[in-house]
Amino acid sequence: MEKVLVVNGHGLGEYCDVKKIPVVGETVKAFNRRFEADAGKGTNVAVAIARLGGDAVFIGKAGEDEGGYLGEKWMGEAGVDLTHYFLDARVATNLGLCIIAEDGSNIILDFDDDANSITIPELTEHMEACTDAAYLVTGFEIPVETSLYAARLGKKMGMKTVLNPSPLEETAVFEDLSFVDYLMINETEAAILMGDCDMSGMHMHKIAEELSSKYRTPNIIITLGADGSIAYTPEGRYSAAAYPAACIDQCGAGDGYLAALVWCLTNGTPLPESMEWASKYAAYIVSHVGTVGIYPTHEQLETFWKEG
């Protein structure tokens, strides 16, 4: 089993329910406000990989507060290596609010403050102690420059690098991502990264090819929700259908798909089969309420799939 470094955000998730997702200018009644077993994208990915039996190491910091201690508890119980997760009394653990509609759609409000994140000197020290890692997964719930630095350093150290640039600002501009082996995005992020290019009438595979050429990233994976996912790679173009599921909560599905995909890759599974397996994994997530608290083991997945 190959070791995976996860360098991304940890935070505490707050939830509320609405009848439907509001449009601009609309006021809707929210109810059932609560904290769930929910965390940041980094925590989600690390827990999901570990629950599948993977060797996940989380690199990051949080405050000496409820959110920081819960991260320690959730990741530790899942089997994540927390050698490089530390609490700092000078910062506060970040928060996020997930607004869930009756049809399972959601909006996530991210209150992350870059000042609470791991610094580049801290990150360097911890990453350089992980010379045996094969994969690095990072994203933008830590400062963008820190995430990209982690990918560059991981590449330099010989790791396969996976970037999920979420949340992605609409004004984001990148000149070169050649140090990223796998760029994992959704349709909205693909449109932002395409910039001023007219995407009307373009097939998603063509968009992925354009992104690969533009950013010099060999493997582009685009998730399409109920339409599954596609990939453009030097070996070919691939598609994976979404696995049928009764969607009640989409929160954490993208993180789960990413974690399942990386877990498959660490086991030597080819990308097309990894995408199909990750789609089935994501179906489990959308069929349950929550994120870090419900990422499944193999036994839970097998039961879910057998029950159809």
Contact between 140 and 168 (Cβ < 8 Å): yes
- Pairing of β 94-100 and β 60-63: unpaired
What's the CA gap between 295 and 285, in Å, rounded? Answer: 7
Contact between 75 and 43 (Cβ < 8 Å): yes
pLDDT 10s per residue in the chain (308 long)?
799 999 999 988 888 999 999 999 999 999 999 877 778 899 999 999 999 999 999 999 999 998 999 999 999 999 999 999 999 999 999 888 889 999 988 888 878 788 899 999 999 999 999 999 999 999 999 999 999 999 999 999 999 999 999 999 988 889 899 999 999 999 999 999 998 777 777 899 999 999 999 999 999 999 999 999 999 999 999 999 999 888 888 888 999 999 999 999 999 999 999 999 999 999 999 999 888 889 999 999 999 888 87
Phi and psi, residue 102, nearest 5°:
-60, -30
Contact between 97 and 108 (Cβ < 8 Å): yes
Predicted pLDDT of residue 111: 82
Predicted pLDDT of residue 44: 96
Predicted pLDDT of residue 258: 98
pTM, to two decimals: 0.90
What's the CA gap between 58 and 8, in Å, rounded? Answer: 8
Predicted pLDDT of residue 281: 96
Place of tokens 């354009």: 210
Query: Selecting from 1.10.3720.10, 3.40.50.720, 3.40.1190.20, 3.80.10.10, what CATH number does the domain 3-306 have?
Result: 3.40.1190.20
